[in-house]
Amino acid sequence: MRRKTRKIFYGNVAVGGDSQITVQSMTNTDTRDINSTVKQIKELEHEGCDIIRVSVKDIESTNALKAIKKQINIPLIADIHFDYRLAIESVKNGVDGLRINPGNIGSKVRIREVVKACKDYNVPIRIGVNSGSISKEYINKFGGVNEDAMVYSALDHIRILEDMDFRDIVVSLKSSDVYLTVRAYKKMAEEVDYPFHLGITEAGTVWKGTIKSSIGIGALLLMGIGDTIRVSLTGNPVEEVKVGKQILRSIGLLKDSVEIISCPTCGRTEIDLIKLVTEAEKRLKDINRPLKIAIMGCAVNGPGEAREADFGIAGGKGNGLIFKKGEIIKKVKETELLDELIKEINKP
Ligand code: SF4
């Protein structure tokens, strides 16, 4: 069961409550370079990114936000560290969300000004505590970098906003340690009803980071925890979105495309199954309705193992069977299997 949370809005995209779990990413261009930033955001949009964050490190970056916002279709979040003026300018320039920790901005007067701007423009704030940047005060108080230090540090930031009657809050508690991240979110889930932004920070390069993120984010989602996710990879952010979407699809939290079920192959396999599945993935990727397609190596176990699939192939020797809902409908040559399968899928 999904954890009950408040619902907040980044522009017209809802996060939390009963809304679809969203996938977000962050650009790695210089935000001041408007063309490159917009180009990258467009690529991410194309891959299905729901929300995008950009780093705002100076006033020039805040000026670029207006032009960027005009050219993109997804909500834009400004990532700011420490400087309250950049936060206010970003809000005025049209961002849909801020990522800033109020406890790091300085005096109450400054925080109040940021909160006022966010209230005036309906802009939510994400409070993000990363295990790597917890202040010494919390590390000493809680005996090290642990879930208590993370949660209570975040709670102190949250209370600052609540004291100013601001509750459009999203919370993240990231660590590069999967266990620690899971423990921190679980603990925080008992404390507040704000939506959670999930992520394993600094997860690594595409292959390793994908596995690590899938375990951490996946474990939390399976517990019903998490409302928006960001996979952090050392690589092209497009990969982050691909992985994020696939994490959601893998556990049935996103049903927007074809799911291919394929067997691992074994001594019974007599067709080039790996080539067939790779080709099928390419040719079926633009179907944007939920369909389960099974591509199995043999007719002995294939249709039976894939009974739940809408369509499927079971390989034979130089040929294969096409089946629909577990029932065999035709036998065709190996070279024609994929074309025939696609024909069946496209039948009205
Ligand atoms: S479906 Fe057939 S070929 Fe594939 S792993 Fe199972 S037994 Fe082997």
| pLDDT tens readout for residues 101-150 | 988 888 989 999 999 999 999 999 999 999 988 989 999 999 999 999 99
Same domain as 173, residue 51: yes
At 285, list the tokens.
Answer: 């990727």
At 294, list the tokens.
Answer: 């099974």
Mean residue pLDDT of the chain comes to: 95
Amino acid present at 145? V
**226, 232 Cβ separation under 8 angstroms:** no
Q: Can you give the three-state secondary structure of the chain, one letter per residue?
A: CCCCCCEEEECCEEEECCCCCEEEEECCCCCCCHHHHHHHHHHHHHHCCCEEEEECCCHHHHHHHHHHHHHCCCCEEEECCCCHHHHHHHHHCCCCEEECCHHHCCCHHHHHHHHHHHHHCCCCEEEEEEHHHCCHHHHHHCCCCCHHHHHHHHHHHHHHHHHCCCCCEEEEEECCCHHHHHHHHHHHHCCCCCCEEECCCCCCEHHHHHHHHHHHHHHHHHCCCCCEEECCCECCHHHHHHHHHHHHHHCCCCCCCEEEEECCCCCCCCCCHHHHHHHHHHHHCCCCCCEEEEEECCCCCHHHHCCCCCEEEEECCCEEEEEECCEEEEEEEHHHHHHHHHHHHHCC
- Domain with 90, as residue range(s), is 7-250
Q: Is 292 inside a domain boundary?
A: yes
Same domain as 265, residue 143: no
Q: Is 42 inside a domain boundary?
A: yes
Residue 177 has pLDDT above 90, yes or no: yes
Dist CA 154 CA 172 (whole Å): 8
Same domain as 200, residue 299: no
User: How close is the Cα of 68 to the center of ligand 1, in Å?
Assistant: 51
Q: Is 1 inside a domain boundary?
A: no
Residue 196 has pLDDT above 80, yes or no: yes
Same domain as 200, residue 133: yes
| Residue that finishes a domain, picked among 196, 225, 250 | 250
Q: Is 2 inside a domain boundary?
A: no
Residue 348 has pLDDT above 90, yes or no: no
Same domain as 318, residue 207: no
CA-269 nearest atom, ligand 1 = 3
- The CATH number of whichever domain residue 334 belongs to comes to 3.30.413.10
CA-300 nearest atom, ligand 1 = 2
**How many domains in the chain?**
2
Q: Is 164 inside a domain boundary?
A: yes
4: how many CB neighbours lie within 10 A of its CB? 11
- The CATH number of whichever domain residue 44 belongs to comes to 3.20.20.20
| Residue that finishes a domain, picked among 228, 250, 272 | 250
Residue that is written with structure tokens 């049903």 in the block: 255
Q: Is 169 inside a domain boundary?
A: yes
Same domain as 217, residue 298: no
When pLDDT is averaged across residues 147-174 and rounded to a whole number, the result is: 96
Q: Which tens digit of pLDDT belongs to each residue from 45-64? A: 999 999 999 999 999 999 99
Residue 35 has pLDDT above 80, yes or no: yes
User: How close is the Cα of 208 to the center of ligand 1, in Å?
Assistant: 28
pTM, two decimals, is 0.93
Same domain as 162, residue 35: yes
Q: Which tens digit of pLDDT belongs to each residue from 78-108? A: 999 989 999 999 999 999 999 999 888 889 8
| Residue that finishes a domain, picked among 197, 232, 250 | 250
Same domain as 334, residue 240: no
Same domain as 206, residue 271: no
Q: Is 157 inside a domain boundary?
A: yes
pLDDT for 70 equals 97
Same domain as 163, residue 46: yes
Alpha carbon distances (Å) from 10 to 99, 118, 177: 12, 12, 28
Q: Is 31 inside a domain boundary?
A: yes
pLDDT for 161 equals 96
Residue 305 has pLDDT above 90, yes or no: no
Residue 25 has pLDDT above 90, yes or no: yes
Q: Per-residue confidence at 223, pLDDT binned at 50, 70, 90?
A: very high
Same domain as 323, residue 195: no
User: How close is the Cα of 241 to the center of ligand 1, in Å?
Assistant: 32
Please report, in range form, the residues annotated as the binding site.
263, 266, 298, 305
**147, 183 Cβ separation under 8 angstroms:** yes
The ligand 1 site (C-beta within 6 Å) comprises 263-266, 268-269, 296-298, 300-302, 305
pLDDT for 300 equals 79
User: Which of 260, 261, 262, 266 to mutate for ligand 1's pocket (most ligand atoms within 8 Å of CB)?
Assistant: 266
Same domain as 319, residue 181: no
